[in-house]
Amino acid sequence: MKSTDIKAKLDKINKETTNFWHIIRTENVVENNFKRHYDLKALINLIKNNGNERIRLKLDQMCINLGIKTRAEFPSNSIYPIIFELSEKNEQFVQLGLIKTIDPTFKMKKGKKRINVNEEITRDYIEKLKNELALEINGLRKKLSDFNENAELNLSTEYSYFTPTEIVDLAA
């Protein structure tokens, strides 16, 4: 697959995911007589699947940029899958926090049947998802931190990209 194809596919998934979040935010709390156009919980699952596909596409693009020809050649000890997954989980966490819900205290006080709006995704459900994500994010941050504490680079050689005349001695 060419880099331009990967970029086009990534752009398509990014737009789709953004659209799904917009739909969830606009259709979660609606008037009682409104019929939702989407299953909002199913959209959340699609967003998660899109996130996994975005990670794969970003890794594919990275392989091409590094001159790697197959996925099998990608180093198994690379931290980039963790970085990309952490980015996805952080975005999902933030987006979940932007979904409007009915205040549970208000709902209890007034009675579910006496309010003129309803919700598909409750505050409790969002909190459950956010708590699960927070645990996953903590685990990914730990892996990233452990990697950074143990990773080293031998600086005794120069990148093959630079010719000796392009190298500037910063210590001089």
Question: What distance lies between CA 21 and its chain's CA centroid?
Answer: 12
List pLDDT tens digits, range 122-139: 999 999 999 999 999 999
Dump the DSSP string for 57-123: HHHHHHHHHHT--SGGGS-TT-SHHHHHHHHHHHHHHHHHHT-----HHHHHHH-GGGSSEEESS-H
Confidence at residue 160, expressed as pLDDT on a 0 to 100 scale? 81
31-35, 135-139, 155-159, range with greatest mean pLDDT: 135-139
Domain boundaries, the chain: 3-149
Residue type, 136: E
Cα(40)–Cα(36) distance, rounded to whole angstroms? 9
Place of tokens 């120069």: 158
- pTM value is 0.86
Percent with pLDDT over 90 in the chain: 79
Confidence at residue 135, expressed as pLDDT on a 0 to 100 scale? 98
Cα(77)–Cα(55) distance, rounded to whole angstroms? 16
Average pLDDT value for residue range 58-78 = 95
Q: Is residue 101 a contact partner of residue 29, using CB atoms and an 8 Å limit? A: yes
